[in-house]
Amino acid sequence: MSVTNLHLGIFGRTNTGKSSLINMLTDQDISIVSEKKGTTTDPVKKTVEIFGIGPATIIDTAGVDDLGEIGHLKIQKSLEVIRRVDCAILLIAGNQFGDYEVRLIDQFKEHDVPYIIVHNKNDISKIAAITKNAIKWHTNAEIIDISTLNSTDRDLLINSLKKIIPETVYKNLTLIGDLVKPKDLILIIIAIDSEAPEGRLIYPQNLTIRDAIDNHCITVVLREDEIEDFLKSGLTPALVITDSQIFKSVTEKLPENIPLTSFSILFARLKGNLIAYLRGTPCISNLKNGDNVLILESCTHQTSCDDIGRVKIPKKLKEFTGKRLNFKIISGLSPLPENIDDFALVIQCGGCMVTRKQLSNRINPFIKRGIPVTNYGMALAYVNGVFERVVSIFRKFYEYDRNNPKLPFIEG
Amino acid sequence: MSVTNLHLGIFGRTNTGKSSLINMLTDQDISIVSEKKGTTTDPVKKTVEIFGIGPATIIDTAGVDDLGEIGHLKIQKSLEVIRRVDCAILLIAGNQFGDYEVRLIDQFKEHDVPYIIVHNKNDISKIAAITKNAIKWHTNAEIIDISTLNSTDRDLLINSLKKIIPETVYKNLTLIGDLVKPKDLILIIIAIDSEAPEGRLIYPQNLTIRDAIDNHCITVVLREDEIEDFLKSGLTPALVITDSQIFKSVTEKLPENIPLTSFSILFARLKGNLIAYLRGTPCISNLKNGDNVLILESCTHQTSCDDIGRVKIPKKLKEFTGKRLNFKIISGLSPLPENIDDFALVIQCGGCMVTRKQLSNRINPFIKRGIPVTNYGMALAYVNGVFERVVSIFRKFYEYDRNNPKLPFIEG
């Protein structure tokens, strides 16, 4: 079950041929190609099929060297794109390689984005040795010399691109495949409250049910009110997955011996950094009066009044800690605050609508600074006193990390 | 469970103020409003919240009176829009009401689209008695006189609009609510073949599971391979819902006494015309050599090689009838063929991605001509010899129609 597709960024000066490169990759004429300098001004996202690779979202950034007033804005936007892509192509032409390309390469390195350098328009001028040497001075990324007018160059481009695609992008990641066996009975408990959209299951619930049946499990889906009715059937589930918001009432109705977790915690493992969350969550108990807590919401869904990130979790955290806490919420993929050291705790949503790479780019800066991170499901489990219960199913995969006692970690 | 929202068309000459009308309806500034004649050239679709009414898709048609070369194209597009909307507002201004408005009114009537006539810009000139009389000569639709610059006119506009919204649009339609009782066990069988998208349930499956738990049922979701494992549990489902493509293997494994139907047949009732389908489906047996069969696909999903409408159903129909049949496939909402009498049978897909109105606009022309219509699920059931089995659950709602014996109908 591949949950997201490849996010590929195309970077480079105006008129180096970024849009024609996309047409070459996709074997279609989908972007605006005109001789007028700077045709594309905003990063344009396209979901395509890359020939010989598979489904991908290509982000065609603006000609970022346009240093006019909006040029500064364009550079800013391209750098934001670097934080969202799995890998990148840096396009140059006419042997032009300078400070601006070096700045992009530095950003690729800073955000662990694998990249290749493509010298285009070699029908007009081939790449010179002096250019190659200048590039090699800054990076050992692969350099290829092509012309997007020459279709036989496509294989060279695709093969180079294949070498930098992170393995996890197309690997069939599973939500529960390694936690269950074929024919197991899985119980999925769905909360229907004012936040639930009308008439359909939300994305994490949909994915989990499909992953369960893909693994040949028998999946029972019901609401909280029907838990007892189902348990009367005498059937015992191998695993129960619930919405994190109803941990309390579910754990009251469910026998202690039945393994339990939540959609959000499954997504923590699929998309987030489970070890960091396992370590970070118990730090909720270390919060002090006046501490700042950062809530990171990955999508900008319409927030209704009792929204998890803006209302429920802040309320529960204050009640649990008894402390005066300040909350800051950043939604969508808007830039992180400059002063990340001001935060005592970071709570990330499940990230179901973003890629693994995008989510790790959000939380890594905090993890690198030793700031505890957790996610919605784990935080709700902790403040409801069922944290150990809902993560114990993963324990068999992780050991207690003795060489990093600074951050408390549950016993291995 | 409201499955779709209101589709409202805004029609009228260039510069009558269509875009400002939308801003008034939505209390937001979402469309391009400029004094330049003909700002909006293509029908623009917007999903909005109409103040005091609810979620809606507003289609802002081009200034259709623009009779230049592309003007003809714009008129064509506006008429196609009439086939897709639940209701319409015809906007006039400056007491201009003529042949062009009359043509639109005729189209509203032909496609059973309720409408109101709004005279705008009454801050410049109020509607004259002579204009009202001219309008009343052609229609008894409600006429209101407003100015989109005057916010107090919004209530008048909204109240008039409320009167023409078809009741079914916001009525919480249910897929299975009237077929099951709370605590019933529902078995949902999912086919995973090369056409199934990776990693998620498709829209009809998602909606059906949500509708079942909304009705407090215990929903068991599994694949074909797990049917026998589940039946060994001794639990008997009150209703089984399957993908139509696996009717054969499901009916072989399922005891005869357990009610069975499919997603496509549930959608036939929700969106299509179940009586017409009940009558039309048995006409498959009347097909003759050289007959033309029309396949109507409502979305333009990527067709993979063993696509239901293009491969599976044509193949099964030829095998079942033993006749040489010609198939024509129309996908999306592209115009119907001129010569509909050439067709001996019409097979409509489930229509999960279109509104009830859009689907009925597609099949009504055939029903009115007495041409048999059916849908994917019913056709597959019929050629698999399980038609009676999978529609019997609905029989309690319908009687045999003695006064229309022309089309065979299953016994009431």
- Residue of A181, A226, A227, A242 for testing the chain B interface, max B β-carbons within 10 Å: A226
Q: Has residue B312 got a pLDDT over 80?
A: yes
Q: Rounded to a whole number, what is the distance in Å from the CA of A220 to chain B's nearest CA?
A: 4
Same structural domain for residues A197 and A151? no
Quote the tokens at residue A108. 């690729």
Q: What is the per-residue pLDDT across B123-149, written as a single tens digit (0 to 9) for each?
A: 999 999 999 999 999 999 999 999 999
Closest residue, chain B, to A196 (C-alpha): B210
| Neighbouring residues of B181: CB distance < 8 A, sequence distance ≥ 6 | B238
Same structural domain for residues A111 and A191? no
Q: Has residue A353 got a pLDDT over 90?
A: no
Nearest to A225 among B3, B207, B216 (CB): B216
- Distances, alpha carbon B37 to alpha carbons B14, B45, B63, B123, B221, in Å: 6, 20, 9, 19, 56
Nearest to A230 among B209, B214, B218 (CB): B218
At A34 the pLDDT is 41
In which band, very low, low, confident or very high, does the pLDDT at B150 lie, cut at 50, 70 and 90?
A: very high
Same structural domain for residues B11 and B149? yes
Residue A259: which CATH number?
Answer: 3.40.50.11420
Range name among A140-144, A280-284, B330-334 with the lowest pLDDT average: B330-334
Cβ–Cβ of A219/B222 closer than 8 Å? yes
Residue B90: which CATH number?
Answer: 3.40.50.300
Return d(Cα A103, Cα A395) in angstroms, integer: 42
Residue B330: which CATH number?
Answer: 3.40.50.11410
The label of the residue with tokens 């010298």 reads A119
Closest residue, chain A, to B200 (C-alpha): A207
Range name among A309-313, B166-170, B219-223 with the lowest pLDDT average: B166-170
Q: What is the per-residue pLDDT across A198-231, written as a single tens digit (0 to 9) for each?
A: 788 988 999 999 999 999 999 999 999 999 999 9
Quick check: helix, strand or coil at residue B345? strand
Range name among A171-175, A369-373, A392-396, B154-158 with the lowest pLDDT average: A171-175
Return d(Cα A169, Cα B192) in angstroms, integer: 22
- Higher local confidence (pLDDT), B257 or A2: B257
Q: Do the Cβ atoms of A79 and A85 come closer than 8 Å?
A: no
Return d(Cα A377, Cα A355) in angstroms, integer: 18
Across the range B359-381, mean pLDDT stands at 92
Return d(Cα B18, Cα B11) in angstroms, integer: 7
At B271 the pLDDT is 85
Across the range A329-336, mean pLDDT stands at 80
On whether residue A180 sits in a domain, the answer given is: no
> Average pLDDT of chain A?
85
At A139 the pLDDT is 96
Q: What letter would DSSP give residue B173?
A: -
Closest residue, chain A, to B211 (C-alpha): A199
Cβ–Cβ of A200/B220 closer than 8 Å? no
A190 touches B at CB < 8 Å: yes
Residue B260's identity, in one-letter code, is L
> Given B137, B170, B203, which residue is the final one in a domain?
B170
Return d(Cα A159, Cα A170) in angstroms, integer: 16
| Exposure letters A17-26 (e unless 16+ CB within 10 A, then b) | bbbbbbbbbb
Across the range A232-255, mean pLDDT stands at 94
Q: Do the Cβ atoms of A44 and A63 come closer than 8 Å?
A: no
B200 touches A at CB < 8 Å: yes
In which band, very low, low, confident or very high, does the pLDDT at B69 lie, cut at 50, 70 and 90?
A: very low
Cβ–Cβ of B223/A212 closer than 8 Å? no
- Residue of A2, A198, A205, A208 for testing the chain B interface, max B β-carbons within 10 Å: A198
Range name among A389-398, B178-187, B299-308 with the lowest pLDDT average: B299-308
Burial class (CB in 10 A: 0-12, 13-18, 19+), A213: buried
On whether residue B1 sits in a domain, the answer given is: no
Percent of chain A with pLDDT over 90: 53
- Higher local confidence (pLDDT), B205 or A36: B205
Closest residue, chain B, to A230 (C-alpha): B218
Same structural domain for residues A240 and A326? no
> Given A264, A293, A311, which residue is the final one in a domain?
A264
Q: Has residue B402 got a pLDDT over 70?
A: no
| Neighbouring residues of B378: CB distance < 8 A, sequence distance ≥ 6 | B264, B265, B268, B277, B278, B281, B387, B390, B391
In which band, very low, low, confident or very high, does the pLDDT at A32 lie, cut at 50, 70 and 90?
A: very low
Strand order across the A115-120 sheet: A44-50, A54-60, A6-12, A87-93, A115-120, A143-145
- Higher local confidence (pLDDT), A411 or A267: A267
- Residue of A209, A228, A243 for testing the chain B interface, max B β-carbons within 10 Å: A209
* Cα–Cα nearest to B340, from B380, B300, B299, B370: B370
Q: Has residue A311 got a pLDDT over 70?
A: yes
Across the range A376-398, mean pLDDT stands at 89
Return d(Cα A116, Cα A164) in angstroms, integer: 8
B232 CB neighbour count, 10 Å cutoff? 9
- Residue of B198, B202, B243, B353 for testing the chain A interface, max A β-carbons within 10 Å: B198
A226 touches B at CB < 8 Å: yes
At A75 the pLDDT is 62
Cβ–Cβ of B226/A211 closer than 8 Å? no
Q: Has residue A304 got a pLDDT over 70?
A: no
Interior angle at CA B332, CA B330 and CA B333, nearest 5: 90
A96 CB neighbour count, 10 Å cutoff? 14
At A66 the pLDDT is 53
Which neighbouring-strand residues pair with A375?
A: A348
B364 CB neighbour count, 10 Å cutoff? 15
B308-313: Cβ within 8 A, 24+ apart:
B308/B195, B308/B245, B308/B349, B308/B376, B309/B347, B309/B349, B309/B376, B312/B245, B312/B380, B313/B347, B313/B376, B313/B379, B313/B380
Q: Do the Cβ atoms of A138 and A102 come closer than 8 Å?
A: yes
* Cα–Cα nearest to A134, from A111, A101, A93, A108: A101
In which band, very low, low, confident or very high, does the pLDDT at B412 lie, cut at 50, 70 and 90?
A: very low
Cβ–Cβ of A183/B235 closer than 8 Å? no
Same structural domain for residues B219 and B189? yes
At A292 the pLDDT is 97
A232 touches B at CB < 8 Å: no
Closest residue, chain A, to B170 (C-alpha): A198
On whether residue B179 sits in a domain, the answer given is: no
Residue A72's identity, in one-letter code, is H
- In chain B, the number of structural domains is 3
Residues of B in contact with A197 (CB under 8 A): none
Cβ–Cβ of B192/A214 closer than 8 Å? yes
| Neighbouring residues of A41: CB distance < 8 A, sequence distance ≥ 6 | A62, A70, A74
| Neighbouring residues of B87: CB distance < 8 A, sequence distance ≥ 6 | B6, B8, B9, B113, B114, B115, B161, B164, B165, B166
- Distances, alpha carbon A66 to alpha carbons A58, A84, A276, B59, in Å: 21, 22, 40, 38
A392 touches B at CB < 8 Å: no
Range name among A14-28, A29-43, A253-267, B337-351 with the lowest pLDDT average: A29-43
ipTM: 0.70
In which band, very low, low, confident or very high, does the pLDDT at B171 lie, cut at 50, 70 and 90?
A: low
B28 touches A at CB < 8 Å: no
Which neighbouring-strand residues pair with A220?
A: A187, B220
Q: Rounded to a whole number, what is the distance in Å from the CA of B77 to chain A's nearest CA?
A: 24
Q: Do the Cβ atoms of A230 and B185 come closer than 8 Å?
A: no
Same structural domain for residues A36 and A163? yes
At B128 the pLDDT is 97
Same structural domain for residues B361 and B392? yes
On whether residue A177 sits in a domain, the answer given is: no
* Cα–Cα nearest to A56, from A355, A405, A274, A293: A355
Same structural domain for residues B32 and B98? yes
* Cα–Cα nearest to B376, from B351, B412, B406: B351
Q: Has residue B3 got a pLDDT over 80?
A: no
On whether residue B177 sits in a domain, the answer given is: no
Q: Has residue A39 got a pLDDT over 80?
A: no
Quote the tokens at residue B338. 């001129």
Percent of chain B with pLDDT over 90: 53
Across the range B24-49, mean pLDDT stands at 62
On whether residue A89 sits in a domain, the answer given is: yes
B192 touches A at CB < 8 Å: yes
> Average pLDDT of chain B?
85
On whether residue A202 sits in a domain, the answer given is: yes
Q: What letter would DSSP give residue B82?
A: H
Same structural domain for residues B246 and B223? yes
A370 CB neighbour count, 10 Å cutoff? 10
* Cα–Cα nearest to B336, from B79, B74, B103: B79
> Rounded to two decimals, what is the model's pTM?
0.72
Q: What is the per-residue pLDDT across B86-129, written as a single tens digit (0 to 9) for each?
A: 999 999 999 999 988 998 899 899 888 999 999 999 999 999 99
Range name among A106-115, B238-247, B350-359 with the lowest pLDDT average: B350-359
Distance, CA of B288 to chain centre: 30
| Neighbouring residues of B397: CB distance < 8 A, sequence distance ≥ 6 | none
Across the range A125-134, mean pLDDT stands at 96
Nearest to A199 among B1, B216, B219 (CB): B1
At A384 the pLDDT is 95
> Does an H or E element contain B364, and which?
helix B356-368
Cβ–Cβ of A218/B229 closer than 8 Å? yes
Same structural domain for residues A323 and A250? no
Nearest to B206 among A201, A211, A219 (CB): A201
Same structural domain for residues A194 and A242? yes
Size (chain B), residues: 412
Across the range B297-321, mean pLDDT stands at 79
Q: What letter would DSSP give residue B312?
A: I
CB < 8 Å from B in window 147-186 of A: 183
At B335 the pLDDT is 78
Across the range A7-16, mean pLDDT stands at 89
Across the range B298-321, mean pLDDT stands at 79
Q: Domain limits at B135?
A: 6-170
Quote the tokens at residue B315. 């193949």
> Given B170, B198, B226, which residue is the final one in a domain?
B170
Same structural domain for residues B315 and B386? yes
Q: Has residue A271 got a pLDDT over 90?
A: no
In which band, very low, low, confident or very high, does the pLDDT at B172 lie, cut at 50, 70 and 90?
A: low
The stretches of B201-322 forming alpha helices (DSSP H) are 203-214, 227-231, 247-253, 263-270, 274-280, 313-321
SS3 readout for chain A: CCCCCEEEEEEECCCCCHHHHHHHHHCCCCCCCCCCCCCCCCCEEEEEEECCCEEEEEEECCCCCCCCHHHHHHHHHHHHHHCCCCEEEEEEECCCCCHHHHHHHHHHHHCCCCEEEEEECCCCCCCCHHHHHHHHHHCCCCEEECCCCCCCHHHHHHHHHHHHCCHHHHCCCCCCCCCCCCCCEEEEEECCCCCCCCCCCCHHHHHHHHHHHHCCCEEEEEEHHHHHHHHCCCCCCCEEEECHHHHHHHHHHCCCCCCEEEHHHHHHHHHCCHHHHHHHHHHHHHCCCCCEEEEEECCCCCCCCCCHHHHHHHHHHHHHHCCCCEEEEEECCCCCCCCHHHEEEEEECCCCCCCHHHHHHHHHHHHHCCCCEEEHHHHHHHHCCCHHHHHHHHHHHCCCCCCCCCCCCCCC
At A398 the pLDDT is 65
Return d(Cα A83, Cα A9) in angstroms, integer: 10
Can you state the angle between helices A263-271 and A203-214, rounded to 10 degrees?
Answer: 80
- Higher local confidence (pLDDT), B112 or A262: A262
At A407 the pLDDT is 45
At A141 the pLDDT is 96
* Cα–Cα nearest to A141, from A17, A5, A7, A11: A11
Q: Rounded to a whole number, what is the distance in Å from the CA of B187 to chain A's nearest CA?
A: 9
Percent of chain A with pLDDT over 70: 84
For chains A and B, what is the number of CB pairs under 8 angstroms? Answer: 89
**Half-sphere exposure of A343 toward its Cβ, with a 13 Å CA cutoff?**
26
Return d(Cα A41, Cα A246) in angstroms, integer: 46
Q: Rounded to a whole number, what is the distance in Å from the CA of B267 to chain A's nearest CA?
A: 14
Return d(Cα B197, Cα A92) in angstroms, integer: 37
On whether residue A29 sits in a domain, the answer given is: yes
Q: What letter would DSSP give residue B307?
A: -
